[in-house]
Structure 1
Amino acid sequence: MTVHFPFQNSYSALPDSFFARVAPTPVAAPRLIKLNRALAVQLGLDPDLLETPEGAEILAGKRVPEGADPIAMAYAGHQFGQFVPQLGDGRAILLGEVIDKDGVRRDIQLKGSGPTPFSRRGDGRAALGPVLREYIVCEAMFALGIPTTRSLAAVVTGEHVIRETALPGAVLTRVASSHIRVGTFQFFAVRRDTDAIRQLADHVIARHYPELLGNERPYHALLAGVVARQADLVARWLLVGFIHGVMNTDNCSISGETIDYGPCAFMDTYDPAQVFSSIDEMGRYAYANQPRIALWNLTRLAECLLPLFGEEQEKAIEQAQEILGAFPDIFSKAYQAGLRRKIGLFTERDGDDALIQDLLDAMAKNQADFTLTFRRLGDAAGDPAADDARAQFMDPAAFDEWAKRWRERTALEPQTAAERRTAMNAVNPMFIPRNHRVEAVIQAAVNNDDYAPFEELVKVLAKPYEDQPEHAAYADPPLPDQRVLQTFCGT
C-alpha cells in the first residue's frame, strides 16, 4: 500500500500573496528515527506505512504525497523589538492540512526541508540537535497539558548541514492547529493591504474561533479571543517554569498554541530573571517578562486589526485598548488559580496571594528547585514529617517559617491530607525536560548515532505527573558540572 494523507487544504486556497508555492528539496538518504504513532493515528494516518522507506521519504521531503499542496507561508515580525517586514517560512514547508479524529483541522509541516523564497540566503535545513530538542520539548508540553504544536516524526537526512561545524541534517514533521501568527497579520498590515487582513481574519475566525461566526463585531471578538488564549497560555508556561526564549511576534500563534521551540528551556532553580537563550542578551524574554511581552505582541496584533474595527481611528484605538486591557486580569486569574492548586488550596481566601508570593520569594532567595519544591510540597501535604521540600532550600528555616503558615491555611480546607496530595501531584510534575538531560540525549545522537537515551527521555516525559520510581534520576536537578547555562536557536 501507498502512504495516504487525507489532505483538505484551505490555506493554500487563499490568494497567492499569502504564501509561495515551493516543493521540499530532496535529501540523500532519509532514515526515520522517531515516529509518534499515537499522533499518526489521531491524524488518520497509518503508522505502519509511515515507518516504511516510502514513509521516511515523505517525512524527509524527498517524496511529496498525493494531495499535498506544498507552500511556504509569508509573515513579518518584531524580532527582539525590531520590525522585519518580510520573514516567512525560511526552512519549513506546509505540505497540507488534514482533519483529525476529533474533527480538528491540523497543519502538517516539514521543518528543515530546504530553501524557500523566504530563506534570506539560508540553506533551509535543520541540524539534528534542534530537531530532537523540539520533538522532546513540544511532546513534553503536550503531556503537561499545555497547548502546543506537536511532533509527528523526526528523520535524519543522510546529509550534513554546516553551522559552526558540520552536523547531521534532520527534518521535523510538525503538526499544528495552524501556523498563523501575529506576524502573518503584520505582513499585510505593513503593506496596507486591508483586504488581505480581512481575508486572513475571516479565515482565522472560521478555523479557530467558529463561535464568532455571525458575531456583530467579529474582529473585535477575534482580538478578545486571541488575548484570552494567550493570557491563559503564558500563565500555564509560568506554572511549570517554562521559558520560551524567543517570543517574537512571528512566534506568537493566533490559535493559542506554543510554537517554535528554539532556545527554550525549563528552569531548574527558581529565578524570575532567568534567561537561557544565547541571543536574548538583554533579557527581554526572561521568565517573569513573558506576560508583559505577550501583551506587547497582542498590541501589535491589535494595530493590524484596527482598519477592520471601523473608519473612526480614534474610536477603533479606544476599542482595541479596552480589549487589550482585559489581558492582565485574565492572566492574573489563571496564574493565581494555578498557583493555589500547586500549593493545595481549593478555595480562595484573603492572604492567599501573599502566602504564595512569600513562597516564591523564599525559593528565589534560597535557590530552590522550582519543579521539585512544588512536587515535594505534595509529599509534605500528605505527611507532615516529609522534609524533601525543606531540603530544596539553602536555609531550611526559611521553608519552616513559611510551612507553618501554609499548614494553618490548609487546615481551613475540607480535603483530607491524602486528597490534597493527590490533587497537588496532578498539577505539579515530577518530570520536566531538564536542560542537561536534553543536551545529553542530543550529544548521544549527534556524536554516536545513539537514540536509546532520546527514546527513554521521551518515554519518561510522556507521564510527567507519575512517580515512575524506576526513572527517578530523571527528576534530579543537574549537578554543578551538568548545568546548561545557554540554549541556542539552531537556525
Structure 2
Amino acid sequence: MKSLDQLDYCHTYADLGPSLSSRVNPTPLSGSYLIHTNQRLAKQLGIDIESVGDEILIQLLSGQGILESWSPIAMKYTGHQFGQYNPDLGDGRGLLLTEFINDNGEKWDFHLKGSGQTPYSRGADGRAVIRSSVREYLISAAMDGLSIPTTQALAISGASTPVRREEIESAATLLRIAPSHVRFGHFEYLFYSGQHSEIKALADYIILWHMPELKDSEDKYAAFFQQVTKRTASMIAHWQAYGFCHGVMNTDNMSILGLTFDYGPFAFLDTYLSKHICNHSDYSGRYAFHQQPGIGQWNLSALGYALSSLIDSKQIEASLQEYSTHIQAEYRRLMRARFGLDSEHDSDPELINSCLELMEKLGLDFNFTLRVLSETGPDNWADIGLDSTLNKPEFIAWLREYQQRIALDYGNDQQRQHAMQGVNPKYILRTHLAQEAIEQVENGEFDILETWLTVLANPFIEHVCPTHWSLPPSNDQKGICLSCSS
C-alpha cells in the first residue's frame, strides 16, 4: 500500500501531444469538505488513502492544490450527439489530473469531475453538484458489484460554492478512476480534423497500454477494432440482462475499453418496460432501453468510419457483423444464468422472452421478480399466499412450463435457487433509492454512503440495511425520468 505521494505517476496520454488536450489547473472551490472515500477501491488499487489525511485530500479534491508530480489536462474529443456530429466537445467540467502505475503494472487515470471551466466548457460553469456526484459515486459501485464493466469512483467532496442548475445547488467533485478515459469521440475528432497520423498514434497507444496481446498481430488495427466491438457488445449485453438504461449513448460517452461511464440520467428498470426512456431530453426515444444494442452498433460504425484510414472497409463491416453475434450470445448466456438454466436448449430464448413479455403485460418488477423466483421453489409457486409478484394466472401458467424446463437441469431445486441467488441481486440502486441517498448526504448524513457501498459490493446476499432497499418501489416512485444534468 502506498500513499498518494508515493505512487508511480506518469503522463502517457499527455505525451501523445498537444492536439489531444489542453493544460488546465482545477479552479478552487470554497468551503470544501470531504463526503466519503471508497476504502475498498483504494485497497484494490494499492493506495493507502487514509495516510493522506482529510485536510490534504480536501485540498486535492477541491482544486486548492495539486501534487508536484501531477500535470492536469482537459482532453479534447468530439462525437455524435443524438445522431448529429458535434465538433465542439471535450472535457468541459473534468480534468485528467494524472496517471499512475500500481504494483501489478496496471495503469490508472485520476480524473476529477467538477473541477471548473476548461477550453471545452462551451460557456458552462465546469462544475458538478452533490446530486449528480452521489449518483455517479453509487452507480459506479453498483455496476462493479454486478460485474458490469465500469469506471469507478475513489472519493467525493462537497463545497459551499453555489451552482445554478434548475435551482441553486451545492458544488461537489468526484475523483473518477479508470484504466483510460479515451472515447470513440477521440478518434472522431482526429478523423474529422484531418489528423490521420495521430489516429494511428492513438490506436498504437491504446494497444500498447490496454491491449498488448494485439501488438504483434498481423493486422493489429483490424484486431483493435474487433476487440473494441467485442468489449462494447459484452458491456451492453450486461446492461440489457440487468435492466440498465444509460440514457445518453452519444459517441463521446462511449469508452474505447468498453467501460460504462459518463453517468447522467441512468436508471435500472423497475416495472419491465422494453421501451423505457430514462432521459426526459430524449424526445424521440433514440436511447430507450430496447434501442441500446442497436445504438451500440451505430456508434461502432461511427468509430469504424473514423478508423477507415487504418482499416479496410470489409474488415470494419466484418467486425460490425460479429458485434450482433457476440451481443446476442452474451445476452443469452447471462439470461440463462439469471433464469437458472444450467444447460442450453433451443427453446430457452422463447421461454425467457415469453416471461419478459408477461412481465411487461402484467406490470411486474424485472429484478424483483427474478429474485423471488430464486428464493422460492415450485412447491410454493401455486400457493395462494405467494407474493403477488408471481401470483397471477398467466404467470402461473408460465411457471408450469418453467418448472418442466428446470427439471431437466436439477434433481434438487435448492441447487437452482442457490445458483440463481448468485446472479440475481437482492439489492438494486433504483432511482428513488439514489434520490433518498442524495437527500441524506445533503443533510450531512455521509455514513449512508458506506452502508450503500457495503451493500452494492455484493448485492446478492442479505445485508443489515433498511428493508425497503430490497423491495420494488411504490407506484408514485416508479418510472422517474431525469435530465442530462442528473
TM class by shorter chain equals over 0.9
Q: What SS does the aligned partner of 1:306 have?
A: coil
Asked if structure 2 preserves the Cα contact closer than 8 Å seen for 1:61 and 1:110, the reply is: no
In the alignment, the residues of structure 2 paired with residue 328 and residue 238 of structure 1 have an alpha-carbon distance, to the nearest angstrom, of: 14
User: In structure 1, which of residues 475, 481, 486 is the aligned counterpart of residue 476 of structure 2?
Assistant: 481
One-letter identity of the residue aligned with 2:349: D
Map 1:290-439 → 2, pairs under 5 A: 290-309=292-311, 316-381=312-377, 384-385=380-381, 391-392=388-389, 396-414=392-410, 416-439=412-435
The aligned counterpart of 2:90 is 88
One-letter identity of the residue aligned with 1:301: L
The aligned counterpart of 2:196 is 194
Per-residue deviation, 1:467: 2.4
In the alignment, the residues of structure 2 paired with residue 16 and residue 23 of structure 1 have an alpha-carbon distance, to the nearest angstrom, of: 15
Q: What SS does the aligned partner of 2:396 have?
A: helix
Asked if structure 2 preserves the Cα contact closer than 8 Å seen for 1:111 and 1:171, the reply is: yes
Asked if structure 2 preserves the Cα contact closer than 8 Å seen for 1:39 and 1:152, the reply is: yes
Q: 1:454 to 1:432 in 2, by over 3 A?
A: same
User: In structure 2, which of residues 446, 451, 457 is the aligned counterpart of residue 451 of structure 1?
Assistant: 446
The aligned counterpart of 1:259 is 261
Q: What SS does the aligned partner of 2:111 have?
A: strand
Per-residue deviation, 1:445: 2.6
Q: For residues 44-77 of structure 1, what are the alpha-carbon distances to aligned partners after superposition, in whole Å with 9 as ceiling and x for unaligned?
A: 3222133420111112221111211110001001
Asked if structure 1 preserves the Cα contact closer than 8 Å seen for 2:343 and 2:409, the reply is: yes
Per-residue deviation, 1:389: 7.8
The aligned counterpart of 2:467 is 472
What's the TM-score once normalised by structure 2's chain length?
0.95
Asked if structure 2 preserves the Cα contact closer than 8 Å seen for 1:50 and 1:56, the reply is: no
Map 1:53-202 → 2, pairs under 5 A: 53-202=55-204
One-letter identity of the residue aligned with 2:216: G
The aligned counterpart of 1:462 is 457
The aligned counterpart of 2:8 is 6
Moved more, 382-391 or 20-29: 382-391
User: In structure 2, which of residues 224, 240, 243 is the aligned counterpart of residue 241 of structure 1?
Assistant: 243
Q: What SS does the aligned partner of 2:217 have?
A: coil
In the alignment, the residues of structure 2 paired with residue 343 and residue 389 of structure 1 have an alpha-carbon distance, to the nearest angstrom, of: 19
Identity of aligned residues (%): 38
Q: 1:249 to 1:278 in 2, by over 3 A?
A: same
One-letter identity of the residue aligned with 1:459: T
Per-residue deviation, 1:384: 4.0
One-letter identity of the residue aligned with 1:477: P
In the alignment, the residues of structure 1 paired with residue 190 and residue 474 of structure 2 have an alpha-carbon distance, to the nearest angstrom, of: 49
Q: What SS does the aligned partner of 1:307 have?
A: coil
Asked if structure 2 preserves the Cα contact closer than 8 Å seen for 1:278 and 1:486, the reply is: yes
What's the TM-score once normalised by structure 1's chain length?
0.95
Asked if structure 2 preserves the Cα contact closer than 8 Å seen for 1:376 and 1:389, the reply is: no
Q: For residues 270-293 of structure 1, what are the alpha-carbon distances to aligned partners after superposition, in whole Å with 9 as ceiling and x for unaligned?
A: 010011112111111111111000
RMSD: 1.8
Per-residue deviation, 1:419: 1.4
**Runs of 5+ consecutive residues of structure 2 not aligned to the other structure:** none
Asked if structure 1 preserves the Cα contact closer than 8 Å seen for 2:8 and 2:102, the reply is: no
One-letter identity of the residue aligned with 2:62: A
One-letter identity of the residue aligned with 2:453: V
Q: For residues 169-198 of structure 1, what are the alpha-carbon distances to aligned partners after superposition, in whole Å with 9 as ceiling and x for unaligned?
A: 000000011100000100001012110100
Q: What SS does the aligned partner of 1:302 have?
A: helix
Q: What SS does the aligned partner of 1:7 have?
A: strand
The aligned counterpart of 1:218 is 220
Map 1:272-283 → 2, pairs under 5 A: 272-283=274-285
Asked if structure 2 preserves the Cα contact closer than 8 Å seen for 1:3 and 1:55, the reply is: no
One-letter identity of the residue aligned with 1:370: F
In the alignment, the residues of structure 1 paired with residue 177 and residue 400 of structure 2 have an alpha-carbon distance, to the nearest angstrom, of: 47
In the alignment, the residues of structure 1 paired with residue 8 and residue 251 of structure 2 have an alpha-carbon distance, to the nearest angstrom, of: 31
> How many residues get paired?
483
Per-residue deviation, 1:373: 0.7
The aligned counterpart of 1:312 is none
Q: What SS does the aligned partner of 2:376 have?
A: helix
Asked if structure 2 preserves the Cα contact closer than 8 Å seen for 1:42 and 1:101, the reply is: no
The aligned counterpart of 2:207 is 205
In the alignment, the residues of structure 1 paired with residue 113 and residue 436 of structure 2 have an alpha-carbon distance, to the nearest angstrom, of: 23
In the alignment, the residues of structure 2 paired with residue 50 and residue 32 of structure 1 have an alpha-carbon distance, to the nearest angstrom, of: 12
One-letter identity of the residue aligned with 2:174: L
Q: What SS does the aligned partner of 1:10 have?
A: coil
In the alignment, the residues of structure 1 paired with residue 148 and residue 413 of structure 2 have an alpha-carbon distance, to the nearest angstrom, of: 27
Q: 1:3 to 1:410 in 2, by over 3 A?
A: closer
Asked if structure 2 preserves the Cα contact closer than 8 Å seen for 1:380 and 1:386, the reply is: no
One-letter identity of the residue aligned with 1:239: A
Q: What SS does the aligned partner of 2:345 have?
A: coil
One-letter identity of the residue aligned with 1:392: T
In the alignment, the residues of structure 1 paired with residue 150 and residue 411 of structure 2 have an alpha-carbon distance, to the nearest angstrom, of: 33
Asked if structure 2 preserves the Cα contact closer than 8 Å seen for 1:382 and 1:421, the reply is: no
Per-residue deviation, 1:100: 3.0
In the alignment, the residues of structure 1 paired with residue 405 and residue 122 of structure 2 have an alpha-carbon distance, to the nearest angstrom, of: 57
Asked if structure 2 preserves the Cα contact closer than 8 Å seen for 1:8 and 1:99, the reply is: yes
